Amino acid sequence: MSKHGKKYKEALAKVKTGEYYEPRKALELVKETSYANFDATVEVHLRMGLDPRQADQQVRDVVVLPNGLGKTVRVLVFAQGEGVTKAQEGGADYIADSDEWITKIQNGWTDFDVAIATPDMMGKAGRLGRVLGPRGLMPNPKAGTVVPAEDLPRVINEAKAGRVEFRLDKTANIHVPVGKVSFEVDKLYENMATLMDAIKKAKPAAAKGAYIRRVTVTATMGPGIKVDANLAQGMQTRD
């Protein structure tokens, strides 16, 4: 028995089972079939032809989406000395510059969306792995969130503008938000094309066979819509 409700079934009826849509049509359908009573997030889900157990087949990088994510991004910066000044210049929402902040986060406070750190603060930030790690908030050099003080304004601005991280998970999938249902299709398309381009560029040398096996787009509350993987890989930011 299906556990899905009436609204989901009505949305699903608009999607042709077994059909792989071209990217723009798929994004139009995502907007049409979202049944949330809020401005839902549009997500891209990729099934990769990689073995996540192999160190030389990992994918992890960041990309700045041209049209942002349509949400306010709260940025916390772990910094001291000059880093505090640079974080203030960059418009950080919170600056964790003392042990009091570390204790506050250890006690479970995580009212922020992105955490950035200067290298000299990673000793303290590293103590927060159990809190920040599971939430995907731990600053990491590979994700571009551990940077010298002079780079803080740029990285903070990128985070607020729509900078997203993508990474291969343990099940060989990549999940990335690309905007909101309220976005125009053109803006969602541009964001998705920019993401697909970044993922292609991040292809590990050790990848064998089909790199991107399946592409699905969906809203927070809505059916998954299959995208033709070849067309998705050929998306252009200006078409």
- Read off the pLDDT of residues 28-57 as tens digits, 9 standing for 90 and up: 999 999 998 999 999 999 999 999 999 999
Q: Which domains does the chain have, with CATH numbers?
A: 6-69+163-233 (3.30.190.20), 75-160 (3.40.50.790)
Alpha-carbon separation of residue 58 from 154, 196, 202, 223 (angstroms): 26, 16, 9, 28
| pTM, entire model | 0.78
Instruction: Note whether 46 and 212 are within 8 A (CB).
Output: yes
- What is the phi-psi region of residue 97: left when phi exceeds 0, alpha when psi lies from -120 to 50, beta otherwise? alpha
Task: Count how many residues are written for the chain.
Answer: 239
Q: Is the pLDDT of residue 4 over 90?
A: no
Kindly tell me if the per-residue pLDDT of 1 is higher than 50: no
Q: What share of the chain is helix, strand, coil (3-state, %, to 5)?
A: 40, 20, 40
Cβ neighbours of 170 (radius 10 Å): 7
Q: Per-residue pLDDT tens for 190-206?
A: 999 999 999 999 999 99
Model pLDDT for residues 129-142, shown as the tens digit of each residue: 999 988 889 998 88
pLDDT of 188 > 50? The answer is yes
Closest by alpha carbon to 76, among 142, 121, 22?
121
How many Cα atoms sit within 13 Å of 63 on the Cβ side?
24
* H or E element that contains 232: helix 229-233
CA distances from 131 to 49, 96, 117 (A): 31, 15, 16
